[in-house]
A and B are shown apart, each in its own frame.
Chain A
């Protein structure tokens, strides 16, 4: 499978800390790739190295199968974590300018600006100054700016931070549309439900190292089906005492039972059925959130 991005053993050390440590990962073309990790894991540093904003101390980056060249960045769209817009400029002028900078001719840039403003429903704001826009609105402007030049690879650093649910869904839809058009998307986040919804593959980074990476489905399968989701009548205090149960988490509608490795789910089901009436019983993979906490916790321990 061709790769849109290959990262080989990149390193970055700041005076006090090693921000990125021998990090390697590959992003298949046409995938939505999640770069996960707790705060300060090195996600933004990694992305900045991909964008040639900071130089890696060592290691190699390949874009579209070729060794890194600045010109290849013309095919990349980048949404930085911080909102970088000229505050005094009008939204439309700002976007047209960024289109020019990205190599579009003026008429093309104007056309692309108008298209994306319409798609992201910010046309009404085109004559407003950036500083007059809300944070979420600025976020959408910036998102449009990332896509103006129709990049093949889109790198989004925390794209949903500060967005309301409606706009989050709108952005997710746009991302899925881009995937259908064959574009490759990489985004960093620590919101697991977004990853589960969007990503084909992930790389989980902690303390500058990749602790887990690959196809999301396979990763989850690797952790096995060790969780029972159940709903039942009456007192469920007995669950924790059953053999093979590691932990019980009660929530309003569901009870989650974590099994010890190698425990027999059918035996637990029988025990439960003997004591109460069960309306729901489901064997599931661990949620990504649990995997995240397990993987990060293991390294920290």
Chain B
């Protein structure tokens, strides 16, 4: 016990002192916040007007589209933002409204080819900013019947823009079609009025109106945090063990310390570093949430975190960390060099990466049978069950079962890995094979 504490303290003090730790502790949260809030922020800011030209051979559609595009959004920006985050804007525009600068281009019959060439030239090589076109739309004589129109742009991946134009043209065409059926303009307007779905989240505490993407951001934020810390600290344990092996420090230590003490001390020491880092992040996040994010909070919704989520986070972090770090320790002890360790950790990585690939699926449907099954696989439990809990609290028995399975697997894995560690840390030379590993586990 004394030895474990000495080793733990050394590991902790030496790591917390490093520049890498300090930098990671400060930079990582900025990075995460950037990933989630950056796009929202930029979407809210980058309302640069799109310069669009419309060629209308039909003669009626173009002006309706222009009118629609230049219409001021009837909803407040904040509300628009929320709708955007929920995946809906005006006319199902999945992103925020763009503002438009629209030109109607008249075409003399027979001049189509020249007009098209000139417009393309303006898209590609504009003389100046005023002349510069972002895109142009070509509406045919029979667009109203066929429902086909063409969109020309340098960047055709701007789905938001395409969707907005599509919506505007559809609306114009629909209007014409309805008018053709002798429906008055007033009636047309009321017929085209769209439905807004208000989203309400049902929780144990009653109904609560879901304000924007917070419902998505909070679970993702914590799950990614869990993922990163498992990965980073697992790999830290691996490198640290590897360093002890290749620098032969363990040989000096081993005469006074048992291998299992060395492994335990190291794993706990690194965990303490991890928890320190998380604590720093929690404080930073709390502060930022209280001040800097106040504005963003108003936009993305309620970013308060239920206290139980912290408890679950700790439970799954600690169990998951013990599971993966003991595996990483075994890899570090079996490898002969850092490079070999890097290659050998490929054995562990799928256990961490597969759940990350399942996150999207689970966040969309957290109680599907697949989600339940996957989240009960012990290696996936830390990320997936935690995600399920944070999105939509699953039945208590599932949580309890997942924790029991995870704890049991972790205990078994520590036992196996301690054995591999004990033999591996003294083996030099050739690369270890799987049958050898199995034999190591068997050695008393």
Contacts and interface: CB of A to CB of B under 8 A. Distances in A.
Interface stretch (B53-61, B173-181, B248-256, B276-284): B248-256
Residue in A78, A85, A86 with the greatest tally of chain B CB atoms within 10 Å: A86
B125 interface: no
B187 interface: no
Interface string A200-221: 0000000000000000000000
Contacts of A97: 6, 10
A100 B247 contact: no
A140 to B, nearest CB: 15
A101 B257 contact: yes
Interface string B146-162: 00000000000000000
Interface residues of B, number: 20
Interface in A52-91: 52-54, 73-74, 76, 78, 80, 82-89
Nearest to B425: A53
B14 interface: yes
A128 to B, nearest CB: 15
Contacts of A86: 14, 243-244, 247, 249
A102 B256 contact: yes
Binding site of A, secondary structure by majority: helix, strand, loop or mixed? loop
Interface in A143-187: 145
Binding site of B, secondary structure by majority: helix, strand, loop or mixed? helix
B248 A84 contact: yes
B302 to A, nearest CB: 44
Contacts of A107: none
Contacts of A98: 252-253
B264 to A, nearest CB: 14
Nearest to A82: B248
B14 A82 contact: no
A84 B251 contact: yes
Nearest to A70: B258
B342 interface: no
B99 interface: no
Given A86-B14, A97-B6, A51 B247 contact: no
Interface of B: 3, 6-7, 10, 14, 18, 243-244, 247-257, 426
26 contacts: A48-B251, A52-B254, A53-B254, A54-B426, A74-B256, A78-B252, A80-B248, A80-B251, A82-B248, A82-B251, A83-B247, A84-B247, A84-B252, A85-B247, A85-B252, A86-B243, A87-B243, A87-B247, A89-B14, A93-B14, A98-B253, A101-B3, A101-B6, A101-B256, A101-B257, A103-B256
Interface of A: 48, 51-54, 73-74, 76, 78, 80, 82-89, 93, 97-98, 100-103, 142, 145
Closest 4 CB pairs of A and B: A84-B248, A82-B248, A84-B249, A84-B252
